[in-house]
Structure 1
Amino acid sequence: MVMRDSFLHGILLLFSFFVFFAHHAGADQETTPRCKAWLVQSIPTDMPHLKHVPGVLSTEEVFRWLAGNATERLDLIVQYWQLVASPENPLSGDYGYSSEEMKTFGADAGAGVYRAIEDAADRSVSVRIVQHSGVYPDYCNESSKLAYGRPNVENVTLLFDDWWGSGIVHAKVWIADGKDMYIGSANNDWKSLTQVKEVGVYLVDCHPIAKKVEVYFQNLMKLSSLNSSTYSKRIWDSVWQVHRNVPCWSHFVNARDRCRSPLPGLVETPHVIGYPALENPYMFDVPMNMPDYNHNICGNHRSYVSFSPPEVVFSKHARVKILVAYWAHNIDSTDQYLKSLLYTNTLCESSRYNRCTGKVEIKYYKVPGFNMTGAAVNKGQKTANIYPAYSRVNHGKYAVSDVRAHIGTSNLLWDYFFTTAGVSFGTYHPAIVSQLQEIFDADWDSPYSVPVEPLARPWRTEK
């Protein structure tokens, strides 16, 4: 989400655990090692008209650096594994493509990342993995192979369905030696490196932030070891008017019936009828810089950010831009929902008494070839597909305003914020904000972005 700090605010919005960082300039910065940050992208092949943003690293390189430079431990939170392509497996979405085509797609990048993790394990680095059960047809085969015969590799699967009745481990996090890490949208999938557009952040020498994320990692590890039938309860959710499964220490459970949490690093947050209250989270004061990015640094930056486009259009006179992925697996109701958001403009202009100068703009982001994805051969017959399955999509999940950047792992669906494991990084650091703005603008202004058409107006604007 991008918000401009002027009378007419502008907000760009793109489609858990939150880590917020507040930059400050203090007298002790000369003696304190600085946390360093780089923004990270994956850009699909065959997108020649996308503007290059200088100083942004590639996801493949960052993953290989994290694994290659780890000396003691490497912790991974993973949704699924498909780093090694499977063009010879009839069950795979890679099936039927030639070795030359796979090379052109960049499949070697995934194999290189997998080898880097293997090499780390073979150097006696402690590798710990928390994951969802994976996806068809590979599931957890790659992580199981990593753990086989290596006592220094710990591999656990955590099923949120057993605890909450739905949801998954959806976070994409790498932590090396308790100081370097990646947080972003890229899965451990070769396509996330070269066939899917991803956005993340790479942090180096960030001990305080990494320590907090490690606590979250440890809690997931602990949760995977517990018996959900012993530590969960069925409650009545008065907001959604449904029965739900929750851990027995949840605030959805009556205080007199609530159990003591077995998680070592539980953080209490304000709540309303069980749901976390919407408020600014705890923030770190950590010296940080962005090497090779020329941007003047100033002091603390704090602001109000809302994730409700109609609210900010009316109350803050904001200009909101929303960029939504469009691909072969779109949710059917997406277009209707987006058109209803555009209806905010009609309401805004419906009367001069509204004194509303804000606006919502929405575009679909269409990666070339999005509608020609899948196996090259199906049931012995050649298909019309020219790219592997589940590729050619803008998968980034971030928001940037004129003062604040937010890079996460969650989609904009309600259950991603209540029953799904996600990790986000937020900052007021002006250089990160500025560069993330550049990434958004490059996508928004590209020929791959197509405006969503609004609903027809039911009345004329009052004069």
Structure 2
Amino acid sequence: MKSQQKCIVIFALVCCFAVLVALIFSAVDVLGEDEDGINEENCSKNCQVVIVENIPEDISISHEGTIPLSTGLHNLLDLAQKSVEIVSPLWALNSTNGSRFAQAKQGQLLLQRLMGLKAQRVHLKVASGEENTRAIPELKLLLNYGADVHDLNMTALTNGELHSSFWVVDRKHMYIGSAAMDWRSLSMRKEMGVIIYNCSCLVLDLHRIFNLYWQLQFRDFVPAIWSKRLTALYNKDRMLKFHLNGTNTTAYVSSSPDIFCPKDRTRDLDAIMRVIQEANKFIYISMTDYLPLITNSSHSKYWSRIDGKLREALILKRIKIHLLISCREQTHPLTFNFAWSLKSLCMDLSNCSVEVRFFSPRLQEDGSIKGINHHRYMVTDNSVYIGNFDWVGNEFLYNAGAGLVISKVGHEKEKSSTLVEQVKAMFDRDWHSTYTKTLQPNKVPTCSSITVFPSPLLKDQTGHTQQGNGPNNSL
């Protein structure tokens, strides 16, 4: 009997050991990454930041306080000495339309710079969500010029897509924003992001998200445990304290979906909720799509996480909310219902202020639409959130993305304006531009090439000239 019990105990121990070994080998192994000797003790905390934008030529909005996106990305490549790590949801730097050579020029110039990195002894690493890397012309070219490209099987991992868009250069400099490695992001779309220089403390944490993607190549499942080298350095409860453009600042990076968040990593959704919760005066949001729904092939259901938090801020704290949404062919009709639902909350309440406007691009003479507002950010009186997602329920559940939260510290008068103040000024500029239209009751628009307000003196299909709507008309 005792012999049988011993056998059972031994068998149980062997099974436990086998499970432990399986868990260890299922973990993402990054033990070979020395992170260039950078750690929390010796990393840089005296950093500089610039806002980068792409503003299409036909959009009459100035770059005051910002620099062109293409200029910022080339500046990062000028600084690169060891490595450039890029995550992008799309690779299409070459236009396939010969008639758009002028618009595609910036994309082609950027591709040439990336192709030349190996000759400069700079290691280019790309994490891609494309299903067949070698079928993408740009990635095939980069592979031929010495780049390393790892592709993630996002369908198997999360049943979603890779929407992350950021750069890590030498583990010291970074870009994060709305733009993909797409020629249209450098010419035809209105994009926004930030570039942060000499900030290895923060950049090292973003690099860990890149490294997570990098190690997921060839996997069709998410590991049960993660390596310590992927643990978040900072989060919403333990933020990095540093100097940004000479001002006291805190920051951290977030990630999605939940199963891509190792220990201590704040989820994008939680970061957004915290920024909304900590606002005291206003919440300004610039978003391509705002749709609090989770949809699948059979049905849709209300997704209250962000929408409900905004309603709480509006009703319980009397926070002023401005919501700027893109008006484009892909805009879901229910977007206007949700927008009007928000506005209706303040009908009979004092000190309650919410306004929704739609950024409407101009219709070109050839019938195409340029200048789509592709922003994905929020600014409050004390924080900025820049992400890679539209605020649609499905995005946070299945897709991979990254976000950045930057907050100013204290209320003392700084010698120079903070990033929060700069982003607010940029939002106000767009909000008051001639391209925004205010949502009006009983006037539900259709954002398509047919109903988007045309440029002045645009010829219709009959060849007659029609007068475009003037600025500041309501939708």
TM class by shorter chain equals 0.5 to 0.7
Change (3 A) 1:326 1:211: same
Amino acid at match of 1:114: L
Change (3 A) 1:336 1:184: same
Q: Percent identity?
A: 20
Q: Residue 160 of structure 1: CA displacement?
A: 1.9
Matched, 1:283 2:254: no
SS of alignment partner, residue 393 of structure 1: coil
Q: Residue 139 of structure 1: CA displacement?
A: 6.1
- State whether residues 171 and 421 of structure 1, in contact with CA within 8 Å, keep that contact through their aligned partners in structure 2: yes
Q: For structure 1, which segment, 304-313 or 187-196, has the greater mean C-alpha deviation from structure 2 after superposition? A: 304-313
Deviations along 1:421-455, one digit per CA (max 9) or x if unpaired, are: 11112112361001100110011001100011235
Partner of 1:110: 107
Amino acid at match of 1:404: S
Partner of 2:324: 323
Matched, 1:43 2:55: yes
Partner of 1:309: 310
Once residues 86 and 44 of structure 2 are traced to their aligned partners in structure 1, the CA distance between those partners, rounded to angstroms, is 28
Once residues 365 and 341 of structure 1 are traced to their aligned partners in structure 2, the CA distance between those partners, rounded to angstroms, is 18
Amino acid at match of 1:385: G
Provide TM-score, normalisation by structure 2. 0.66
Amino acid at match of 1:42: N
- State whether residues 45 and 242 of structure 2, in contact with CA within 8 Å, keep that contact through their aligned partners in structure 1: no
Matched, 1:54 2:64: yes
Partner of 2:140: 144
Change (3 A) 1:299 1:324: closer
Once residues 428 and 264 of structure 1 are traced to their aligned partners in structure 2, the CA distance between those partners, rounded to angstroms, is 26
Q: Residue 134 of structure 1: CA displacement?
A: 7.1
SS of alignment partner, residue 389 of structure 2: coil
Matched, 1:189 2:182: yes
- State whether residues 107 and 186 of structure 2, in contact with CA within 8 Å, keep that contact through their aligned partners in structure 1: yes
Deviations along 1:237-262, one digit per CA (max 9) or x if unpaired, are: xxxxxxxxxx363xxxxxxxxxx346
Q: Residue 159 of structure 1: CA displacement?
A: 2.6
- State whether residues 339 and 452 of structure 1, in contact with CA within 8 Å, keep that contact through their aligned partners in structure 2: yes
Once residues 315 and 396 of structure 2 are traced to their aligned partners in structure 1, the CA distance between those partners, rounded to angstroms, is 25
Amino acid at match of 2:239: M
Amino acid at match of 1:265: L
Once residues 317 and 75 of structure 2 are traced to their aligned partners in structure 1, the CA distance between those partners, rounded to angstroms, is 42
Matched, 1:410 2:406: no
Q: Residue 135 of structure 1: CA displacement?
A: 11
- State whether residues 37 and 289 of structure 1, in contact with CA within 8 Å, keep that contact through their aligned partners in structure 2: yes
Q: Residue 215 of structure 1: CA displacement?
A: 0.8
Structural RMSD (CA): 2.9
> Which of these two proteins has the greater Rg computed from alpha carbons?
2
Partner of 1:454: 441
What are structure 1's unaligned runs of at least 5 residues? 1-30, 89-96, 232-246, 250-259, 270-278, 291-296, 350-354, 374-383, 457-463
State which of 187, 205, 213 in structure 2 corresponds to 1:212: 205
- State whether residues 323 and 356 of structure 2, in contact with CA within 8 Å, keep that contact through their aligned partners in structure 1: yes
Amino acid at match of 1:145: L
Partner of 1:15: none
Q: Residue 85 of structure 1: CA displacement?
A: 1.4
Deviations along 1:25-45, one digit per CA (max 9) or x if unpaired, are: xxxxxx976211111111012
Bigger fraction of residues in helix: 2
Change (3 A) 1:189 1:299: closer
- State whether residues 300 and 428 of structure 1, in contact with CA within 8 Å, keep that contact through their aligned partners in structure 2: yes
Deviations along 1:143-176, one digit per CA (max 9) or x if unpaired, are: 12111252xx1111113221222x2111110111
Once residues 392 and 143 of structure 1 are traced to their aligned partners in structure 2, the CA distance between those partners, rounded to angstroms, is 27
SS of alignment partner, residue 108 of structure 2: helix
Q: Residue 128 of structure 1: CA displacement?
A: 0.6
- State whether residues 118 and 145 of structure 2, in contact with CA within 8 Å, keep that contact through their aligned partners in structure 1: no
What are structure 2's unaligned runs of at least 5 residues? 1-42, 252-274, 284-305, 409-416, 444-475
State which of 135, 142, 156 in structure 1 corresponds to 2:150: 156
Once residues 406 and 126 of structure 1 are traced to their aligned partners in structure 2, the CA distance between those partners, rounded to angstroms, is 30
Deviations along 1:67-103, one digit per CA (max 9) or x if unpaired, are: 2321111000111111111214xxxxxxxx2xxx532
- State whether residues 80 and 134 of structure 1, in contact with CA within 8 Å, keep that contact through their aligned partners in structure 2: no
SS of alignment partner, residue 86 of structure 1: coil
- State whether residues 313 and 357 of structure 1, in contact with CA within 8 Å, keep that contact through their aligned partners in structure 2: no
Matched, 1:421 2:400: yes
Change (3 A) 1:414 1:154: same
Within 5 Å, which residues of 2 pair with 1:229-308? Answer: 231=221, 247=222, 249=224, 260-261=225-226, 264-267=229-232, 280-289=236-245, 297=247, 304-305=278-279, 307=306, 308=309
Q: For structure 1, which segment, 69-78 or 301-310, has the greater mean C-alpha deviation from structure 2 after superposition? A: 301-310
Partner of 1:124: 121
Q: Residue 64 of structure 1: CA displacement?
A: 1.3
Aligned residues: 342
Amino acid at match of 2:119: D
Provide TM-score, normalisation by structure 1. 0.68
State which of 85, 94, 97 in structure 2 corresponds to 1:87: 97
Once residues 300 and 85 of structure 1 are traced to their aligned partners in structure 2, the CA distance between those partners, rounded to angstroms, is 40
Partner of 1:340: 341
SS of alignment partner, residue 54 of structure 1: coil
Deviations along 1:202-233, one digit per CA (max 9) or x if unpaired, are: 0000101111011111111111232x2xx4xx
